Amino acid sequence: MRGTLERRQADLTIVIEDVHDPHNVSAMLRSCDAVGVAGAHLIYTVEERPELSKGVSASALRWIDLNSWESVADCYSALRERGFTIYTTSLTHEAIDLYDLDLTAPIAILFGNETRGASAEAVALADGCVY
């Protein structure tokens, strides 16, 4: 068990912005847990923060360091203080292929709402966009 925990990737994190469906949030957290992403960040400024089902995401909630933020700016500021470069998933003209990122560097990737995508603020304040 200790070996598995030591191999988690502390310099890769996700940011979940206003994702509406709690099952989608749980699936994202389970995926993080499965591939060794050690932390995730939740931002809820438009949607009400969903109640995460303990049964659906119990193991993920046990092993993922989950942080909640009041704003995109606060989340980004905290991540930058820790040396993270922040990318938002968005189909802008400047967006780069996710597979072109250097995932050995500290990277945060923001995923937006199921319908609206990432907010304009999240895109504007990010270091770049990926698809």
Task: Indicate which CATH number applies to the domain containing 49.
Answer: 3.40.1280.10
Amino acid identity, residue 123?
V
Ranges of the chain with pLDDT below 70: 1-8, 55-58
Give the global pTM.
0.91
Query: Which pLDDT tens digit goes with each residue over 14-39?
Result: 999 999 999 999 999 999 999 999 89
**Could you give the CA distance from residue 92 to residue 5 in angstroms, rounded to a whole number?**
36
Based on the structure, what is the number of domains in the chain?
1
Q: What are the Cα distances from residue 95, in Å, to 14, 30, 92, 100? A: 17, 26, 5, 11
Parent domain of 70? 2-130
